[in-house]
Structure 1
Amino acid sequence: MTPPKTPIAVLISGSGSNLQALIDGQQSGDLPIEIVAVISNRPEVRGLERARAAGITAITLDHKGFDSREAFDLALTEQLEQLQPKLVVLAGFMRILTPAFTNHFAGRMLNIHPSLLPKYQGLHTHQRALEAGDAEHGVTVHFVTAELDGGPAAIQAVVPVLDTDTADTLAARVQQQEHIIYPKAVRWFCEGRLTMAANRALLDGEPLPPSGYQVRHSQP
């Protein structure tokens, strides 16, 4: 018997490469999901084209049309409530969310951030890792809380930093891992394996370490 598909909504601000990984998983049947809508705070971005090409509802909610962050987040909440997703997936959604929004969707909203959190919250993570002389870098999928990039980690992929790396080459290798671990975390959630309780991420009911489930890559 085929398990029921979990309705999810994906929030984007740009090209949507992680969105494409989820679309691919939905279309292949590897992921038990139905993407009910893709919502962008920026009009005419590539991610909206990806959604339309896959027959998925594509919605623009331009943040520039709102007087405040609170007003935008309220409109976004109302839009999501109409869609009734069980999971909200942030895939390159470049907005700082209000506590009212994050609290409303607590435990059912995931984000992906290109660093080994808690290192390098915010922007320019690859360059910051290089400037710090880090031997390793990577990407984290985490539950979203009111703290920017501070929610409990579900899974991390770790890659080595090479002597020849630039911010662009390092970003490209990290992005390859993004497209692997984000669908994995979404699958865990949809299967009921990944949950959040007391500000901790749990896998199969057991608390994960602060870094989450960690996947290490010894080769470039």
Structure 2
Amino acid sequence: MPSPCNVVVLISGSGSNLQALLDSIQAGDTPARVCAVISNRADAYGLERAKTVGIATRMLDHKAFDGREAFDAALVEAIDAFEPHLVVLAGFMRILSPGFVRHYAGRLLNIHPSLLPKYKGLHTHQRALEAGDSEHGCSVHFVTEELDGGPLVVQAVVPVQSHDSPTSLAQRVHEQEHQIYPLAVCWFAEGRLRLGEQGALLDDQPLPSTGHLIRT
């Protein structure tokens, strides 16, 4: 049996995507091992989720560092102590420095609550409703130096309903996040997913610009 893919998860909040990944691993669907959960906020509930199941946790308060580069250097040191094959951003609310991104090139995944390249940044559900979009969703992508701009791995498309509010739309998008993020981690852990020079590859075949598309 090959050794499982070691994963470090970075969080800032409740850790619902972390929980979805842990559930997928527990069910035997994802051949990975979360070896540490690291947060920049001491009150992030995701730290409690990790402690409950015996996963190592670390907290680095970004406000205690003199600038982004100093924080990211300490973060790299904390992450690399666990020798991960993959680093997963799961609601980690920090813009990462170019040096950090380059250090983990090809092994850094993020999930974003929109159908990228639409609505990079914040308030994605509100923006989709204000634009009158008929579809919204979420995206898993490799992280590059362009904010929310790396090659797409998988997207889940959610129909927008006439009575939707940002809250109701967000709830349905979150449900899909909890499906596609473990799927992307599973592909990586199985050696099927990698970042090539031209973009994301699944089973050595280039993924389309949208990534693998799932319609709900």
Range of TM-score over shorter length:
over 0.9
Look up the match of 1:66.
65
Pair 1:18-2:17 in alignment: yes
- Return the offset for 1:196: 0.5
Partner secondary structure for residue 156 of structure 1: strand
- Return the offset for 1:81: 1.4
- Return the offset for 1:201: 0.6
Look up the match of 1:125.
124
Distance 2:203 2:188 in 1: 10
Instruction: Provide the TM-score with structure 1 as the length reference.
Output: 0.96
Q: How many residues align?
A: 216
Look up the match of 1:155.
154
Runs of 4+ residues deviating >3 angstroms: none
Unaligned runs of 5+ in 1: none
- Return the offset for 1:3: 4.2
- Return the offset for 1:82: 1.1
- Return the offset for 1:197: 1.1
What are the Cα deviations for residues 146-191 of structure 1, in whole angstroms up to 9, with x where unaligned? Answer: 1100000000000100000000000000000000000000000011
Instruction: Provide the TM-score with structure 2 as the length reference.
Output: 0.98
Look up the match of 1:36.
35
- Return the offset for 1:23: 1.1
Look up the match of 1:57.
56
Look up the match of 1:187.
186
Distance 2:44 2:101 in 1: 24
Distance 2:37 2:69 in 1: 21
Is residue 151–residue 199 contact of structure 1 (8 Å, CA) maintained in 2? no
Distance 1:21 1:13 in 2: 16
What are the Cα deviations for residues 111-130 of structure 1, in whole angstroms up to 9, with x where unaligned? Answer: 00000000000000000000
Distance 2:155 2:182 in 1: 12
Unaligned runs of 5+ in 2: none
- Return the offset for 1:28: 2.2
What are the Cα deviations for residues 62-121 of structure 1, in whole angstroms up to 9, with x where unaligned? Answer: 111101000000001111111110000000000000000001101001000000000000
Distance 1:160 1:27 in 2: 30
Distance 1:83 1:73 in 2: 16
Distance 1:30 1:51 in 2: 19
- Return the offset for 1:29: 2.1
